[in-house]
Amino acid sequence: MDFLFQANDIKAELSEWRRDFHAHPELGYEELRTSSKIKEFLIKENIEFYETAATGICAIIRGKGEKTVALRGDMDALPLVEKNQCDYISKNPGKMHACGHDAHTAILMGVAKILNSIKQELKGNVKLFFEPAEETTGGARVMIEEGVLENPKVDAIIGLHVDEKIETGFIGLKKGVVNAASNPFTIKIKGKGGHGARPNDCIDPVVISAQVILALQTIVSREIPPTDPAVITIGSIHGGTAQNIIPEEVVISGVIRTMKTEHREYVKKRLKEVAEGIATSMRGNCDIEIEDSYPCLYNNDELVQVFKASSSMIIGAENVITLEKPSMGVESFAYFAMERPSVFYFLGSKNEKKGITHPAHGSHFDIDEECLPIGVALQCEMTIELLKKI
């Protein structure tokens, strides 16, 4: 079946859906309009669905067979002022689809439309996960807790993300670890405040904080193998009210990014030991909170091979780029990948001739909509192949 032909046949609808979502961006767990539009579409197409994770949706296309393949599309936008000049610019002040989730949702709707039209030929079931809050706490985790991977049980999951660094018509695919794990943290350094002219009467949390910040960088540079990526970033420091006052407290916040589970646990442990040790040695103390945010995203090697073969049928093997390095960014699809064999890939959406080169999470981000039917065709082809093989 020529899925690319079918996807191009609904290209106008894909663009219309994507632009409508782009013009009406909504933040995590606020995707009421977006969710409503998706439900209207599913009802029109006579596709079974139920609500999950507040504003999320799980749709089901039941074929002939017991196996089930799931596909994920995230829906939420970012708190950002859009600066593009286009007909579909954001109508919601301070909110923008600056990461392509509008495209992901439109692509998943296109997949639903095509696969539902041939459901009698499907050798199993297809679940469609419209995920909320990917940019914040990750709706995937809640969806899993609420049972979307069961009834019918999901055997494999496919995910994609548009990529402004890859030309339209190409995709990026990687074996093994694809995205980093994330651990946001907050360190409160407590001392003894007083007059800036008499530091000997005080315990200066600013100086303690400076020592902690510098020492934390040695965890990565001297304790993690240099061949393994890891990052400790300090994003904010807050303390003090005036030049001549030594404050009682300084608050440091940042994030840990790691690529291996063992490194994740090690860096968390060492961050506590280093911060507490320095604070104590300098007569202060500290409180530390480390959040367990998104885990590492791992691709299943077998599914990567299946996807490489199926995608080559759509765009040609020469347009499938093997990615050598993982991304230090995070992705809530990782929660799904922890539970079931999964494949996650990057769909090229860059077009220099059209000036579509701006980075994601930026106020000028946009996509080349020629990537939409390609994404639909790739998802459909991989779904069919997996239902044959799993």
Question: What would the two tokens of residue 238 be?
Answer: 């807050």
Taking the C-alpha atoms of residue 284 and residue 271, their distance in angstroms, rounded to an integer, is 16
Give phi and psi for 340, each to the nearest 5.
Answer: -140, 155
- Do 38 and 162 fall within a single domain? yes
For residues 192, 195, 201, 202, the Cα torsion angle rounded to the nearest 10 degrees is: 20
- Do 303 and 249 fall within a single domain? no
Contact yes or no for 106/97 (Cβ under 8 A): no
The whole-model pTM stands at 0.93
- List the chain residues with pLDDT less than 70: none
DSSP string, 286-313: EEEEE------EEE-HHHHHHHHHHHHH
pLDDT at 306: 97
Closest CA to 168 of 356, 376, 350: 350
Contact yes or no for 171/94 (Cβ under 8 A): no
Rg over alpha carbons for the chain, rounded to the nearest Å, is: 24
Whichever domain contains 226, its CATH number is 3.30.70.360
Domains in the chain: how many in total? 2
pLDDT at 152: 97
Sign of the Cα pseudo-torsion (263, 264, 268, 274, in order): positive
- Do 27 and 141 fall within a single domain? yes
- Do 117 and 240 fall within a single domain? no
Last residue of a domain, one of 240, 271, 290: 290
CA 365 to chain CA centroid, Å, is: 16
Beta bridge partners of 73: 130
- Do 273 and 303 fall within a single domain? no
- Do 222 and 152 fall within a single domain? no
Whichever domain contains 67, its CATH number is 3.40.630.10
- Do 48 and 103 fall within a single domain? yes
Last residue of a domain, one of 238, 258, 290: 290
* Nearby residues of 134 by Cβ (< 8 Å), 6 or more positions away: 28, 74, 75, 76, 101, 140, 331, 332
Domain containing 320: what range?
3-179+296-389
pLDDT at 390: 84
Last residue of a domain, one of 258, 290, 322: 290
pLDDT at 289: 98
Closest CA to 40 of 59, 22, 27: 59
- Do 355 and 207 fall within a single domain? no
- Do 235 and 301 fall within a single domain? no
- Do 26 and 113 fall within a single domain? yes
pLDDT tens per residue, range 229-240: 999 999 999 999
- Do 143 and 82 fall within a single domain? yes
- Do 10 and 67 fall within a single domain? yes
